[in-house]
């Protein structure tokens, strides 16, 4: 079973053991992760790599995370047009040290073994979508991860039509 699918099971096991042992510290931590942001599990942002990649600490483990459904200009090896702005936008939406919710789609990892996630700020902002709406990212989906494809495509069309962000600065 993939590691991403084992995490919830391990959390439930820890909670069950805690109840059985008469303690409550682990149960409280598990409940916070499971229901932290709109019922989604949560993690703490450890660092921002670029506009569509970050590191997230979940259950004490630092995960490399690639945002699903979007692509931002690359920082490396040479910064592409709007790469710095996209990176700054992700840092604004998911500041280091903050708790954010996450959601997997059908395929939890890419070929580089990064976790593929949709991210949600504490205020409910859908971070992947916001990056596209504001013109910092374009749509890029790989099968089978298509859960929010229609919303992201619509946001891209609106940002492009309005000349927002990279659509006005780079093309």
**Confidence (pLDDT) at 73:** 97
Residues 6 or more apart in contact with residue 13 via CB below 8 angstroms: none
**d(C-alpha 75, C-alpha 61), whole Å:** 25
**d(C-alpha 164, C-alpha 155), whole Å:** 11
Confidence bin at 35 (pLDDT 50/70/90): low
Arithmetic mean of pLDDT, 46-73: 98
Q: What is the DSSP string of 79-129?
A: PPTTHHHHHHHHHHHS-TT-EEEEE--S--B-TT-PEEEEEE-TT--BHHH
Catalytic residue among 33, 40, 66, 138: 66
92 is catalytic: no
Angle between helix 25-35 and 3-20 (nearest 10): 140
Confidence bin at 142 (pLDDT 50/70/90): very high
| pTM of structure | 0.80
**Model confidence pLDDT, tens digit, residues 114-130:** 999 999 999 999 999 99
Catalytic residue among 114, 147, 149, 151: 114
**Confidence (pLDDT) at 117:** 98
Whole-number average pLDDT of the chain: 85
66 is catalytic: yes
Length of the chain: 171
Nearest of 130, 147, 137, 129 to residue 80 by alpha carbon: 137
Catalytic residue among 74, 92, 147, 151: 74
114 is catalytic: yes
Residues 6 or more apart in contact with residue 161 via CB below 8 angstroms: none
């Amino acid at each position: 079973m993939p590691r991403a699918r084992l995490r919830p099971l391990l959390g439930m096991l820890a909670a069950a053991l805690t109840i059985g042992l008469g303690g409550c510290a682990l149960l409280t931590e598990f409940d916070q992760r499971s229901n932290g942001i709109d019922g989604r599990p949560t993690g703490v942002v450890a660092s921002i790599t670029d506009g569509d990649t970050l590191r997230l600490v979940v259950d004490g483990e630092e995960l490399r995370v690639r945002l699903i459904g979007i692509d931002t200009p690359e920082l490396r090896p040479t910064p592409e047009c709007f790469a710095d702005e996209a990176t700054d936008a992700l840092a604004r939406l998911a500041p280091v040290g903050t708790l954010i919710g996450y959601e997997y789609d059908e395929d939890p990892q890419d070929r580089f073994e990064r976790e593929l996630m949709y991210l949600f700020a504490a205020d409910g902002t859908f971070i992947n979508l916001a990056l596209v709406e504001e013109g910092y990212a374009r749509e890029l989906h790989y099968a089978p991860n298509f859960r929010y494809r229609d919303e992201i495509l619509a946001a891209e069309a609106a940002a492009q039509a309005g000349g927002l962000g990279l659509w006005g600065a780079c093309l």
